[in-house]
Amino acid sequence: MSLSKKIKFLHRQENLHSRGLSGGSYQIRPPDGYILCLNISPYMIESVLVDGLITAQSPLRLTAIKATTPEALLEEIEKLYREYHHMHRQLPLRLALSIHGQVNPVTGVSQNMPQAPWDTPIEIKYLLEERLNTELLIDNDCIMLALAEKWQNGSNHQDFCVINVDYGIGSSFVINQQIYRGSLYGSGQIGHTIIDPDGAACACGRYGCLETIASLSALKKKARMILKSHSRGHHQDRVLRTPTTDWLIKHYHLGDEDLRPLVSNAAKAIGLSLYNFLNILNINRIYFYGRSCGFGNEWLDIIQEQTGFNPFDQTDAVRTNATNIIFGQLSRQKQVMGIAYLFVEQALNDMKSINSFKTEIQ
């Protein structure tokens, strides 16, 4: 089907926002209503309201929660949804959810949420669609970041990877402009590459995974042990708490002699794992996100040093094809808005399916 015929067909189906001027551009007509973007953990929900063109209609909002059971988490999501819906009752409100951990985007099941005090799957999509009578799409937080970079960063014309170094370590790949999820939706598990087979036990059941060395949760545990050893014989009446992320970052930049080697070793481990990924996938643009980015350029430099060089770069004289490992530049609001692009990609896939079907029957 020619381009002009496709445009006429979309116009007849009212899928074009406007036909525009002759020789001009066209815009796909978005569905009426809003999309509520939620990035969810058992302790915090980040929310942004967007319209059908994924334009922010509210500022980023942080809501502290304390969900000790799956039902409690569902109730918190439902409560927040109804609050936004009450403010915009005249228009439909769809849900786009980002959940940390492993998620099946087809069934809408949160299969594993590492920060949660439970270890059972949650049928989030089914349960919330039933309760709220709305359409819901769901994926994990690394997919959220990949979608945000794909759709909101105009410089991403090549394959790229986002790596989220936070409580855990996750990643997501965009290859040929498509999010790569794998057949079991478990791709991007860079945090569970084994660095030390004799290392600490990981939540996944194996030993010496990257997360046990380089994640914020691992660094906090190690920092607490150091603080505990230094406090023996002193302040016995005070409970020694696990350091916060802000504490780690602050004392790293202050030059803490015990903490800095821990953070440096963590960065080296990330770099070594990343080197293997570079060799296997030949992706030359990597964006880092997550609170660990607060360790700054020195942390990133150590990661870059460990990757050494991409062997595929040696004979490539084109500078734009060289490996780039950088901090992601999208604001936190834009990161959370990324999950709304699940609806955009669903609409595009539906259009492709219709066109393929029409081509087959012609």
Q: Are 168 and 212 members of one domain?
A: yes
Q: Are 165 and 281 members of one domain?
A: yes
- In this structure, the number of other CB atoms found within 10 A of the CB of residue 13 comes to 11
Q: What is the mean pLDDT of the chain?
A: 85
Q: Are 247 and 189 members of one domain?
A: yes
Query: What is the total count of domains within the chain?
Result: 3
Q: Are 85 and 221 members of one domain?
A: no
Contacts 24+ apart (CB under 8 A), 17-23: none
Confidence check: pLDDT of 21 > 50: no
Least confident of 10-19, 88-97, 252-261, 293-302: 10-19
Confidence check: pLDDT of 330 > 90: yes
pTM of this structure = 0.85
Q: Are 107 and 55 members of one domain?
A: yes
Q: Are 201 and 282 members of one domain?
A: yes
Between 308 and 276, where is the model more confident? 276
Is residue 218 one of the residues assigned to a domain? yes
Is residue 252 one of the residues assigned to a domain? yes
To the nearest 10°, report the CA torsion of 287, 292, 298, 301: -30
Residue-number span of the structural domain to which 129 is assigned: 34-146+335-356
pLDDT band at residue 197 under the 50/70/90 scheme: confident
Q: Are 38 and 187 members of one domain?
A: no
Confidence check: pLDDT of 192 > 90: no
Q: Are 226 and 308 members of one domain?
A: yes
Residue 206: predicted pLDDT: 86
Q: Which residue is listed with tokens 């439909």?
A: 92
Which range is most confident: 250-259, 299-308, 309-318? Answer: 250-259
Residue 319: predicted pLDDT: 45
Across the beta sheet with 34-40, what order do the strands follow?
61-64, 44-51, 34-40, 93-99, 136-140
Is residue 12 one of the residues assigned to a domain? yes
Is residue 152 one of the residues assigned to a domain? no
Q: Are 122 and 191 members of one domain?
A: no
Q: Are 115 and 222 members of one domain?
A: no
Is residue 151 one of the residues assigned to a domain? no
Phi, psi (degrees; rounded to nearest 5) at 48? -145, 135
CATH, residue 238: 3.30.420.40
Is residue 361 one of the residues assigned to a domain? no
Confidence check: pLDDT of 217 > 80: yes
Lookup: tokens for 303:
């990661």
Q: Are 323 and 249 members of one domain?
A: yes
Q: Are 179 and 255 members of one domain?
A: yes
Is residue 362 one of the residues assigned to a domain? no
Residue 164: predicted pLDDT: 96
The answer to whether 341 touches 147, Cβ cutoff 8 Å, is yes
**Smallest Cα–Cα separation from 95: which of 59, 47, 147?**
47
Quick: pLDDT tens for 261-302: 999 999 999 999 888 877 777 788 999 999 999 999 999 999
